[in-house]
Amino acid sequence: MLELLVLYTLNTFEKTGYSIKKEITKKFGTFIQPSSGALHPLLKKLVQKKIIDEKKILTEGGKKLSYFYFNKDSLKHFSKLFIKPLSNNPSVCVNEIYSKLACFKMANNEMQENFLENAIENLKMFIVDANNTLHDEYLKFDFYQKTLIKYQIGIFEDLLKHIERFKNFDEECNNK
């Protein structure tokens, strides 16, 4: 979901790869801290696919700098990424939810609503699955395994509460 956050970060004005990395880490570092090894190939790929544009300049000291910025296809690609259904893999899905919540305001109302419904559905499914696993009489878990599953259920339940608050807040705003 780094790609989504890069597009969100570039939405306001052009930035260097370093400033993109710094902003993502500063704003979203609690759930993602991109490495230069992940970010620079992604930026190169986005430029090659013409999803973002690049402007290269030479500084007074002779250093080459690349500035990346939005073009006419950037918002379309952001929308395509935002509406993509969430993963059925719980750990991947949670990270996708965090990324989409982080750039929630950039999506239109319909995209927001669809995302929230998809997130609620997935989280409820994960909670049921984890509880069924925990209480399966044929599976034997030790104390640490049970604790880990209970912890994961708590994460899903807390995230579900936050998503439902987003949905209720969004509905209240639309009804006013």
Residue 167 belongs to domain spanning = 86-175
Instruction: Indicate whether 93 and 169 sit together in one domain.
Output: yes
Nearest residue to 39 (alpha-carbon basis) of 76, 68, 11: 68
Instruction: Indicate whether 115 and 37 sit together in one domain.
Output: no
Q: Report how many domains make up the chain.
A: 2
Nearest residue to 83 (alpha-carbon basis) of 50, 118, 45: 118
Note the pLDDT of residue 170: 58
Instruction: Indicate whether 55 and 122 sit together in one domain.
Output: no
Instruction: Indicate whether 55 and 104 sit together in one domain.
Output: no
Give per-residue pLDDT as tens, 21-70: 999 999 998 889 999 899 999 999 999 999 999 999 988 888 899 999 99
Q: How far is CA 34 from CA 18, 27, 39, 101, 126, in A?
A: 11, 12, 6, 17, 27
Q: Name the domain boundary from 78, 108, 133.
A: 78
Instruction: Indicate whether 71 and 96 sit together in one domain.
Output: no
Q: At 1, is the pLDDT very low, low, confident or very high (cuts 50, 70, 90)? A: confident
Note the pLDDT of residue 128: 98
Instruction: Indicate whether 118 and 94 sit together in one domain.
Output: yes
CATH number at residue 24: 1.10.10.10
